[in-house]
Structure 1
């Protein structure tokens, strides 16, 4: 009996000894781990505390266009803990983390309790995150539920606890937590729900707000007041259990009626909302900032927007388009020499449709594509005086397996020879397709891509007439490059970006890249002035005749119309503007007035914006020659040519032959040979034959 007892005692001693040593090892490992975590936190340093204030956007003149209280419908303020109501602080601690001031960032008891509860329910039913952990989560760029993110969150929690005081952590948490409806932080929430400052919140209001962050879309009183009141009661009971208030105070607060802010609608993006979206895209794509930094970074973004030009654009659109119409619009105005976008309208109503028709939509540009074709033609030996016949005809392509028969507008044809200058001014489709086929279909695609057209272009005869869809931003960019003498221009939305410390993290720097021949670019631009010049009228009127009487300075431009789209893009040396009109869905422009909207908006906007600007002429570069020609045949004008028009040519390509059609002796000679009406008819035939010769 003694032997058995002695053996048991020996075994017990061994087990106790083993447990002691294992415990000592675990204790040492725990101490080492704690020291390691503290050392990690100190060595890696403090993580940046989140947003000092909302990101503010400035117009080009320094005026605030978005900020202080508004950003994408989201409100954010940063308030010191001393300016936050004690009711809010107590309510938040009571419902979120009662031992906040006692733990080191992790509440071990809560963690084990949550694990047991989850195991019993076989589901995620209870959370154990402390305020520090939640704040660490708010500092992350993403909220995905991967193990990598959880580990990083834990390390962030350690860094917060080892480098900041509890009050600093609580302050950061209260200023970054989401309270629903776009309100980030307690000051924004107090303002939104109660039209108060965070320092003015009473107990019943504080308890209501403290309950929202658990599930803002579920516990917001504006989403479901009954559920919000139930949650408020839980918060008040937690405060009572924690000894922060009495049971009587909790009941009194629960029964107290809440007066909500009557103007519950958050301030939305009223100033150039589509422009704002384009700025955010640029912050992502060009400045390389992530979404969370853009939203929570406390940035100062200096944009290129001209609020006055923006207002004028929106006003002219509103004045011209029938308010009952479902038709949509896009407008973009940009400085051709800098690329700075001064106005942008991506649709008629941002709240109904935030889809940006300037930067996102792809539509058929119609004849606004023709300047790219004629630049290509000039680069391959054509001149403004090159003549071809305008008459109905059929083109074969794809090695003879396909045919294409273009039509002119209203089926009007010259049935005669016209010059390139006339072809562009009159928007003659036959001349355009002939030129396209003569050059080779790929040539136009090469030029369009060089100019910055990013959409896929079909290698077909109809491409000359703009049948492949493109983005407006690309079209305005391409026109801007032509206006800029062939120097590449890219749309610029942001001048400079500063972080919350005032440090410049991005600044726009212009680049000079000559992608077009400057002489050819200028000749193309001057050809584009012809759409407003009635001297080029022929078998039909120039396409800009309906708005020519509105214009007080020299413009270059081109309009374009398809069954579903109407465009007008034009420029002066100071500004290039594009306007598109059409329906979002497959609906045609059947009303004549609708097809005229684009030109009218463009003309009124350009004249209004440039009203007090100096008259700056198009400056001809070296290698160009101005000569007066007869518009009907492209030959050098004589004193008898009453409609002589100044036209620019690349040096060495200007015409050398004089027009003889309007010489007095030429007319008298034919009067003697062919008197009477019949001879006048012969004269017309002879003139046509002579022009052709």
Structure 2
């Protein structure tokens, strides 16, 4: 028995000795490998500090319209000239153990490896500042083990040949902070108008959060999201022991004054458009922001460089040298392709993209949605209502509302839908809105692409719910293309540095309107440019009608703060807004024509090389010579007329009566229209004088 026990003890001792020998051998091999690796990286010498590739944007004609650079060394400053809060914030949020590792953090790598193995992907990274610097200089942003290994080698080369302060200095001088600002000095000057050594804690923490996603976390694009990122940075500084909680809270609460100084000169073709493309790539297409910042992509867009230059030219020529702002979006209604986009008067002074991000009251430019809904519910261009000062009882009779026409111009008589559109009569619009039901106009607008919430209040008929400039261009496209809702398209395809297509799109259209009623709505909107319709007041497009030499349709709109013109041809829909960013009201006497003038001149010149097409008439439409004042058929005794279009079977059949023998005017309003007016009076009880 004792012999057996002794054998077991000896066997166990041999195994223990073998284990320790193998462990010692492994440690020697690991140490040797580490020494060899470090020696190798040291012998390789200092790696060259290259910059990343350039991403190029192309217009619809495949000509370059702009570039996006990553790694430009602009305003290089020494580490001693950078505020200590920037250094502390950057290290805290990006790499807390920066001064204690050799280019890679074993603890972070171990945690990331475990997490990625569990997830079955490379979703989680563990890159140090040195690795990020190496990746931006030498590598792609592919999430592969091979790339991570190469990143480690380059990081070791940097660590073996440069000291920590040199690496940190290089990182802070080459990292991209958005809007063309490369390096912390350029970023400090651009965002806050000061040098990097004069930043406050609040400013330093805001800037330090941007490199994670320059387009996504830019405070100029989305201040709320940037403030959330700033809070993360400040909290990481608290965790890292360089701040206390009180200091962090005070810095987060401190107001920031952005000055937009020292912006890198943007491309001369569509800087606002290119910003929109960058955001779409990150937020909608799903291109990794890191991949985009690494560069080397070819982004083929829908922008027409010639149209864009025309848009920028007419904005510059028309807009006064004041704080008055504007935005323009031009879209091909047949495809949804955005052909031109202006987000403000001057991109350098204000990169805020009003064309995409602003929401303003459209005023009467909302009425086409209301009147299409009316056509769906039994109206025709000949339908008449009484235009006179009117007080409406709203909110189930609990309130009274007295809207007015522009300059208090009323027919004090019945007018047709054709005239109501051409004159932009508010009384006709409100009566129609209430008669149809206050949900109809909003439902129609959303059907054709308006995504902003609209509500159902009575004043919606007069455009009191905020919408976007691009939204109206998209929504009007359905009138221009025969009733199809379009998806706005900015990007045709994206190709990476290896020639692989990362993303490609095709036009998306969906039939949502009756082509016949869309055509009639377009014909009604032609009326705003037809001086033959002038009566108790003039058509709203009289001031620009002489500038257009092709078939066009459209609708203007105004509020105390906004001026709009949205119009179209079969090839191009253009939405133009003019107003102040603040709550300052417009002086319509001096500032009310800018939107119309920009729209008319741009439309005429942008299409100068294209044929003057008319809108195709669908089957089932008939034309009649209609007296525009009363909606009846013109005759030899009542010759005043305009050729007007109707769905077959709904056209007027009653002729204008002969003039009275004594020369007095004979009332010639369709009895059915009178009955409709009386029905509204009786049923809704909304009218009172």
Relative to the length of structure 1, the TM-score reads 0.68
Asked if the contact 1:160–1:169 (Cα under 8 Å) also holds between the matched residues in 2, the reply is: no
The alpha-carbon deviation at position 591 of structure 1 amounts to 4.5
Whole-angstrom CA distance in 1 between matches of 2:296 and 2:565: 39
Whole-angstrom CA distance in 2 between matches of 1:531 and 1:360: 29
Asked if the contact 2:630–2:668 (Cα under 8 Å) also holds between the matched residues in 1, the reply is: no
1:432-471 pair list within 5 angstroms: 432-471=429-468
1:543-554 pair list within 5 angstroms: 543-554=540-551
Does structure 1 residue 538 correspond to structure 2 residue 532? no
Matching residue of 1:395: 392
Matching residue of 1:275: 273
The alpha-carbon deviation at position 157 of structure 1 amounts to 10
Whole-angstrom CA distance in 2 between matches of 1:618 and 1:463: 29
Secondary structure of the equivalent of 1:573? coil
Asked if the contact 2:422–2:540 (Cα under 8 Å) also holds between the matched residues in 1, the reply is: yes
Secondary structure of the equivalent of 2:361? coil
1:131-210 pair list within 5 angstroms: 149=124, 151=126, 159-160=146-147, 179=170, 183=174
Whole-angstrom CA distance in 2 between matches of 1:574 and 1:551: 14
The alpha-carbon deviation at position 404 of structure 1 amounts to 1.9
Matching residue of 2:372: 375
Matching residue of 2:64: 64
Distance change in 2, residues 1:656/1:283 (3 Å): same
Flag structure 2 segments of 5+ consecutive residues without an equivalent.
1-9, 35-49, 79-90, 113-121, 132-141, 199-261, 675-689
Whole-angstrom CA distance in 2 between matches of 1:34 and 1:625: 91
**1:440-489 Cα shifts (integer Å, max 9, x gaps):** 00111211111111111131111000001111111110001211111111
The alpha-carbon deviation at position 178 of structure 1 amounts to 8.8
Secondary structure of the equivalent of 2:653? coil
Identify the range of structure 1 (510-519 vs 614-623) with the bigger mean alpha-carbon deviation.
510-519
1:646-665 pair list within 5 angstroms: 646-660=643-657
Say how many residue pairs are matched. Answer: 530
**1:101-142 Cα shifts (integer Å, max 9, x gaps):** xxxxxxxxxxxxxxxxx9xxxx968624445779x99xx9xx
Does structure 1 residue 127 correspond to structure 2 residue 99? yes
Distance change in 2, residues 1:55/1:432 (3 Å): same
Matching residue of 1:480: 477
Does structure 1 residue 349 correspond to structure 2 residue 330? no
Matching residue of 2:318: 320
Does structure 1 residue 489 correspond to structure 2 residue 481? no
Matching residue of 1:576: 573
**1:32-76 Cα shifts (integer Å, max 9, x gaps):** 999999xxxxxxxxxxxx996221111111111112xx44xx556
Matching residue of 2:416: 419
Identify the range of structure 1 (498-507 vs 434-443) with the bigger mean alpha-carbon deviation.
498-507
Whole-angstrom CA distance in 1 between matches of 2:532 and 2:651: 19
**One of 581, 592, 597 as aligned partner of 1:595:** 592
Secondary structure of the equivalent of 1:336? coil
Secondary structure of the equivalent of 1:684? coil
Asked if the contact 1:535–1:631 (Cα under 8 Å) also holds between the matched residues in 2, the reply is: no
Whole-angstrom CA distance in 2 between matches of 1:452 and 1:157: 41
Matching residue of 1:511: 508
The alpha-carbon deviation at position 623 of structure 1 amounts to 1.9
Whole-angstrom CA distance in 1 between matches of 2:515 and 2:632: 24
Matching residue of 2:604: 607
Distance change in 2, residues 1:354/1:265 (3 Å): closer
Matching residue of 2:55: 55
Asked if the contact 2:301–2:492 (Cα under 8 Å) also holds between the matched residues in 1, the reply is: yes
Distance change in 2, residues 1:27/1:466 (3 Å): farther
Asked if the contact 1:132–1:160 (Cα under 8 Å) also holds between the matched residues in 2, the reply is: no
The alpha-carbon deviation at position 287 of structure 1 amounts to 1.7
The alpha-carbon deviation at position 168 of structure 1 amounts to 11
Asked if the contact 2:383–2:673 (Cα under 8 Å) also holds between the matched residues in 1, the reply is: no
The alpha-carbon deviation at position 278 of structure 1 amounts to 1.1
Secondary structure of the equivalent of 2:341? strand
Asked if the contact 1:565–1:580 (Cα under 8 Å) also holds between the matched residues in 2, the reply is: yes
**One of 481, 496, 500 as aligned partner of 1:499:** 496
**1:137-164 Cα shifts (integer Å, max 9, x gaps):** 9xx9xxxxxx995657799897457568
Matching residue of 1:290: 288
Whole-angstrom CA distance in 2 between matches of 1:425 and 1:19: 98
Whole-angstrom CA distance in 2 between matches of 1:559 and 1:516: 22
Whole-angstrom CA distance in 1 between matches of 2:396 and 2:32: 79
Distance change in 2, residues 1:587/1:533 (3 Å): same
The alpha-carbon deviation at position 414 of structure 1 amounts to 0.7
Whole-angstrom CA distance in 2 between matches of 1:216 and 1:688: 68
Matching residue of 1:617: 614
Whole-angstrom CA distance in 1 between matches of 2:631 and 2:581: 42
1:294-313 pair list within 5 angstroms: 294-313=292-311
Matching residue of 2:116: none
Relative to the length of structure 2, the TM-score reads 0.69
Whole-angstrom CA distance in 1 between matches of 2:386 and 2:28: 94
Distance change in 2, residues 1:125/1:519 (3 Å): closer
Secondary structure of the equivalent of 1:638? coil
The alpha-carbon deviation at position 574 of structure 1 amounts to 0.9
**One of 608, 624, 627 as aligned partner of 1:627:** 624
Secondary structure of the equivalent of 1:359? helix
Secondary structure of the equivalent of 2:475? helix
Larger radius of gyration: 1
Whole-angstrom CA distance in 1 between matches of 2:667 and 2:171: 81
**1:225-251 Cα shifts (integer Å, max 9, x gaps):** 9xxxxxxxxxxxxxxxxxxxxxxxxxx
The alpha-carbon deviation at position 329 of structure 1 amounts to 0.2
Distance change in 2, residues 1:163/1:384 (3 Å): same
The alpha-carbon deviation at position 621 of structure 1 amounts to 0.8
The alpha-carbon deviation at position 286 of structure 1 amounts to 3.2
Matching residue of 1:10: none
The alpha-carbon deviation at position 615 of structure 1 amounts to 1.2
Asked if the contact 1:479–1:576 (Cα under 8 Å) also holds between the matched residues in 2, the reply is: yes
Distance change in 2, residues 1:163/1:407 (3 Å): closer
The alpha-carbon deviation at position 326 of structure 1 amounts to 0.6
Secondary structure of the equivalent of 1:558? strand
Distance change in 2, residues 1:593/1:501 (3 Å): same
Whole-angstrom CA distance in 2 between matches of 1:124 and 1:514: 56
Asked if the contact 1:485–1:521 (Cα under 8 Å) also holds between the matched residues in 2, the reply is: yes
**RMSD of the TM alignment (CA)?**
4.3
